[in-house]
């Protein structure tokens, strides 16, 4: 249920907390994700698009572009589903549901990743993006670091990083005995205040939305599930999972727990809408 805002949007959804924009792409991806593993007919996608104010042409264009990018695939019956490529990204996104089981106590050790010299720009950019998804920051020239509190072996973490585009030639390892002034500088690489503010802000938004979710017009609830749900999922998915020595982890857990409740509400609504459309 992600919602990536785009400057060329064709519909605007107003919520009780903010005014954001939903694109036809957001809607198509969101409904296909909710229906997965079952495909959806073009008729259903057009109908729900109309419910939120999109033209049939806008939905068809969004589907065509997603197919061209190999994110969506169709069969001979004009039914659409997400491709394995998209589902692999969703697998990364779904990590947030594991909550605090993804981390373990921090022993003041560090996870380090050294990128080899001579990488092309595209390969380096992809590697840096993969590292950022797991909370690694540039600590020294060519060396990316994060607290060693992830509940993963080096082999498991390396495999997951490669799955999201880290070059297999990167060197991933655990280390300690760095100079104190260096580790103190590293702990300032993350904007702790901004992260905690995001936890609090998104908690308040989805708690407010959840309070009367099923009492609102269906188009408003659908819009909010795309906007607020998508925004909060990005916060949880890309969270660096810093240890309690660096951040208030109770705020993270509070947001994660609230998002579980909110997602259950969203899925119930989307399932009901999809069932009616597919009748």
pLDDT digit string (tens) for 202-231? 999 999 999 988 888 888 888 888 889 889
For the chain, residues classed under CATH 3.30.70 are: 109-175
- For the ranges 10-19, 35-44, 60-69, 73-82, the lowest mean pLDDT is seen at 10-19
Strands across the sheet with 137-140, in order? 137-140, 143-147, 110-114, 171-175
Q: Where are the beta strands (DSSP E) in the chain?
A: 11-14, 19-22, 40-41, 72-74, 79-82, 110-114, 137-140, 143-147, 171-175
Q: What is the mean pLDDT of residues 53-57?
A: 93
pLDDT of residue 175: 97
Architecture of domain 109-175: 2-Layer Sandwich (3.30)
DSSP annotation of 84 reads H
Residue 152: pLDDT over 90: yes
pLDDT digits 0-9 by tens, 7-32: 233 333 333 334 457 889 989 988 88
What share of the chain in percent tops pLDDT 70?
92
Average pLDDT of the chain to the nearest whole number: 88
Backbone angles phi, psi at 258, to 5 degrees: -65, -40
The pLDDT of 93-119, averaged and rounded, is 94
Return d(Cα 243, Cα 177) in angstroms, integer.
Answer: 18
């Amino acid at each position: 249920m992600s919602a990536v805002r785009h400057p060329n949007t064709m519909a605007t959804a107003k919520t009780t907390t903010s005014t954001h924009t939903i694109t036809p792409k957001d809607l198509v991806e969101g409904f296909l994700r909710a229906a997965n593993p079952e495909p959806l007919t073009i008729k259903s996608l057009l109908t729900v698009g109309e419910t939120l104010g999109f033209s049939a042409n806008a939905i068809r264009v969004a589907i065509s572009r997603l197919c061209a990018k190999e994110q969506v695939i169709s069969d001979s019956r004009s039914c659409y589903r997400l491709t394995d490529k998209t589902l692999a990204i969703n697998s990364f996104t779904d990590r947030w549901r594991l909550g605090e089981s993804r981390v373990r106590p921090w022993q003041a050790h560090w996870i380090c990743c050294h990128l080899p010299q001579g990488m092309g720009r595209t390969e380096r950019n992809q590697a840096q993006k993969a590292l950022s998804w797991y909370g690694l920051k540039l600590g020294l020239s060519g060396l990316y670091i994060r607290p060693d509190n992830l509940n993963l072996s080096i082999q498991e973490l390396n495999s997951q990083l490669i799955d999201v585009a880290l070059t297999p030639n990167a060197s991933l390892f655990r280390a300690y005995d760095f100079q104190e002034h260096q580790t103190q500088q590293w702990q300032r690489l993350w904007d702790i205040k901004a992260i905690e503010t995001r936890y609090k802000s998104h908690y308040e938004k989805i708690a407010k939305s959840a309070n009367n979710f099923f009492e609102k017009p269906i188009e408003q609830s659908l819009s909010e599930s795309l906007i607020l749900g998508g925004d909060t999922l990005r916060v949880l998915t890309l969270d660096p999972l810093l240890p309690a020595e660096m951040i208030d982890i109770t705020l993270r857990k509070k947001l994660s727990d609230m998002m579980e409740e909110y997602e259950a509400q969203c899925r119930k609504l989307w399932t009901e809408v999809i069932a009616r459309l597919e009748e």
